[in-house]
Amino acid sequence: MKLIVATKNKDKFKEIKEILKGLRVSIISLNDLEKKFHIIENGKTFQENAFKKALAVSKHYKDSYILGEDSGLEVNYLNGAPGIYAKRYAGPKATYKSNNKKLLRSLQGVPYKRRQAAFRCCLVLVCNKELVKVFEGKLRGRVYDQARGENGFGYDPVFYLTHYKKTVAELRSSIKNKISHRAKAFKKLRSYLENKKS
């Protein structure tokens, strides 16, 4: 079985492969395909964006499972922002660092107890241009008042988990890949694919 993950993000794909390690499926990303894709993520929800990615690829790769993934950080105090705009929160050429800086500026002076947030991940599995299944995962935490840690990517350095007394970027990847929003969604996907094969 082949699973094409509709992403060019190498950090994200590395994490996905680690989470799905041991699954007897050939997992490839858009970077591994001959055809090059430029998919505009203009959906209004994580699910719309994930489906848009998967569908665009599915039109060219028949009889393969295509997985669209969209994820982001929703901050209660900011009415759910950055949300689906997480990747480009600081502008079209945003980096992980500039996004984190903008987020911290947006919450400057906001007390810790009002900094509740959640990482959300939505996976959409498509085959032959048809929706097969949707899987979701969520991780609740708070936005810290500064960036800490060198592991992970995206908003990991500013997303604080009270239970661990650490930001996600301070966790070992082995722990993150068991508890994260993405890990929770992919655990459901893994279970579905394993049952599909049996």
Which residues participate in catalysis according to the annotation? 70
**116-127 vs 65-75, strand pairing mode:** antiparallel
How far is it, in rounded angstroms, from Cα 154 to Cα 95? 8
Determine the length of the chain: 198
Please list the alpha-helical segments (H only) found in 94-180.
96-106, 173-179
How far is it, in rounded angstroms, from Cα 103 to Cα 157? 12
